[in-house]
Every structure is written in C-alpha cells, then in structure tokens.
C-alpha cells in the first residue's frame, strides 16, 4: 500500500469526513487489488485549486499548452497528475458541490474516480489516448479546408474550436475508462452519487437555446457554440458507463438529469455519439477510439454548417 500524504487546507470544512472518505476508498481498493508501482501519493483538498495546480504542474507545461491553460484557469477541476521524478498527486477541488453537502458516498466516488485516472496514467493508458488525439488531426484539417468561411467561422477560429473539441473528447474517453475501472472494483454506487450530486448542482439554470447561440455568434463568439456542444456532450458522458454495466436505474436517472436544453441539432448528433462512446472497452481499443474522435469532429462540423446556413 502506498504512503499517503493528505494536505487538507485550513479553510476546508468537515476535514474528518473527507479524510475518512479517502481512507475508506484506499482500504476498500486494497482489499480487492494492489496498487503496483506506486509508493507514495500526495493528496490535496483545497478551496484554492488554482494555487495548488500551479504547485503541482510545472509552469512551463501550463504556458506551452493553450488548451491546458484554458482548462486550468477557467475550470480548475479535480484531477490527478503523474510526472517522473515527482510524487504522484491528486487534487480535489473542495468547492465542488459534494463537499458543500458533505455527501460521504459522493466524496468517495470523486476520489475513486481520480485514483483510477492515476492508475491509468501509471499503466500508460492516458498517454496512448493523447497519441490518438494527434492521429485525429488529419480529419480536423480536412474539415477545416472543406469549410466555406463565413463570419465568425473563419479557419483560424475553426482550428481553435476543433483543437478544443478533440482535446475535450479525449478527456471524456479518459473519464469513461476511469469510471469503468472504478466500477470493476465495486465503486459503482460511489461514482453514481458523485455524478448525481454534481449534475444536480451544475445544471441549475443552464440552457443553450438556438436563439441565444445565434446572438453570440453574431457578436463573433464561436465559443458559444463550443460551450453548448461540449457541455451537453460532457453531461451525457456521465451515464454511459452505467449503461455499459447494466445499472439501468442509475443510468436513466443520470440521463434525465443531463437532459438540459440545447438545440435539437445538438441532441441529434450527441445521441449517435453516445452510442459510439459506449462501445469503448479499453484504452487499447484504438479502432473504436479513433472512430469516436473522427465522428465527434464530423458531428461538430455538421452543427457548424447548420448555424452557418442560419447566419447567411
């Protein structure tokens, strides 16, 4: 069993409950398996996640990757990090709703999810997924060249959007694989409680109407379309693993919670994408992963064409 260093910051409430949730996950996991090639884990629970993120991840890496910079500064979610020569780390954002409601099962679910991400990193699975993203560049460039420019969808902005779409799709796939691994070790209910709590909190008053998206596009803000597509796709990524594991009641509950208002064109394309995401069984399933990346890029391109027609 690896040595665990917990850093629970002073401003975090219910430290005992959080510490117990983490210990429970590690104890339960140890009963079912062993954590190989892992001698120590640094675990941070903080209400100032950006400061801790800067401590964990080298500044040079953050500044070099635009999508990482955006991800950190805009969202700063909980995450795991593995770098040769440094202690593996897990950072839990104590601003997440599961900490506000003191949901012990949900906190266990969040930590189990991040622990599985860390184990997948150790096994090289997540690095392989990054390589698949690089291979998907061909489809991206083909679609950009095929596109007939129309404000605000010029090729430069389109390139930025496709990079974001592709990088985020890889994150969705990583989540599916982490959840599959967690559920294979019996953390099904914990993962469900985490997603249920998070979705109920995050979807309050969120909606993306065609009218509101068009209004933003006319101002030149293509990110409005990206945000709507990725938010809906991300929410509906939460229930996929439960459907794979035949937890029908939980799958239907999460699917219902994820059904926020977006244009019908997005729901149509997201539905077919969910079927393909659900066919991914492992990080070594290169053919299916490549298919999902290519199809996501194509579906997003189809949505762009839909809005281009409306802008003419």
Res. 111 pLDDT band, cuts 50 70 90: very high
- Flag whether pLDDT at 68 surpasses 80: no
Name which of 36-40, 41-45, 73-77 the model is least confident about.
73-77
Q: In this model, does residue 1 exceed pLDDT 80? A: no
CA angle 140, 127, 72 (to 5 degrees): 75
Residue 68: half-sphere exposure toward Cβ, Cα within 13 Å: 14
- Residues of the chain with pLDDT > 70, as a percent, come to 92
Say how far apart CA 40 and CA 58 lie, in whole Å. 19
Is the model's pLDDT at 153 over the cut of 50?
yes
Cα–Cα distances (Å) from 277 to 61, 65, 118, in that order, read 29, 26, 21
Q: Cα 289 from chain centroid?
A: 15
The pLDDT tens digits for 179-217 are 999 999 999 999 999 999 999 988 888 999 999 999 999
**Averaged pLDDT, 229-247:** 95
pLDDT of 250 > 90? The answer is yes
Q: What integer pLDDT is reported at residue 5 of this predicted model?
A: 86
Residue-wise pLDDT tens digits, 13-23: 899 999 999 99
Segment 277-292 shows an average pLDDT of 93
Contact yes or no for 225/307 (Cβ under 8 A):
yes
Q: Positive or negative, the Cα torsion across 61, 64, 65, 71?
A: positive
In percent, how much of the chain has pLDDT > 90?
Answer: 68
* pTM, two decimal places: 0.91
Note the pLDDT of residue 312: 83
**Alpha helices per DSSP H over 236-285:** 240-244, 248-257, 264-277
Give the distance from CA 95 to its chain's centroid.
17
| Confidence check: pLDDT of 72 > 80 | no
């Amino acid at each position: 069993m690896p040595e665990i260093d917990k850093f629970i910051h002073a401003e975090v409430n219910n430290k005992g409950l959080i510490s117990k949730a983490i210990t429970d996950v590690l104890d339960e996991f140890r009963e079912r398996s062993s954590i190989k090639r892992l001698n120590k884990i640094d675990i941070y629970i903080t209400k100032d996640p950006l400061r801790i993120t800067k401590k964990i991840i080298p500044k040079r890496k953050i500044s070099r990757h635009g999508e990482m910079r955006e991800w950190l500064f805009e969202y700063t979610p909980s995450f795991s990090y593995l770098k040769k020569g440094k202690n593996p780390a897990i950072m839990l954002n104590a601003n997440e709703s599961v900490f506000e409601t003191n949901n012990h099962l949900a906190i266990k679910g969040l930590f189990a999810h991040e622990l599985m991400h860390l184990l997948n990193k150790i096994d090289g699975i997540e690095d392989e997924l990054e390589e698949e993203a690089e291979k998907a560049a061909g489809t991206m460039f083909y679609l950009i060249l095929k596109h007939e420019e129309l404000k605000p969808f010029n090729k430069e902005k389109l390139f930025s959007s496709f990079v974001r779409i592709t990088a985020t799709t890889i994150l969705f796939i990583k989540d599916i694989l982490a959840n599959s691994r967690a559920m294979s070790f019996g953390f099904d209910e914990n993962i469900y409680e985490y997603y249920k709590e998070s979705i109920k909190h995050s979807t309050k008053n969120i909606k993306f109407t065609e009218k509101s998206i068009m209004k933003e596009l006319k101002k030149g803000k293509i990110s409005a379309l990206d945000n709507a597509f990725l938010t809906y796709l991300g929410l509906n990524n939460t229930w996929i693993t439960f459907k794979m594991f035949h937890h029908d009641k939980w799958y239907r509950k999460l699917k219902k919670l994820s059904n926020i208002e977006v244009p019908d064109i997005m729901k149509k394309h997201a539905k077919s994408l969910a079927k393909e995401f659900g066919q991914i069984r492992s990080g070594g399933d290169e053919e299916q992963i490549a298919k999902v990346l290519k199809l996501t890029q194509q579906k997003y391109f189809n949505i762009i064409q839909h809005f281009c027609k409306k802008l003419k």
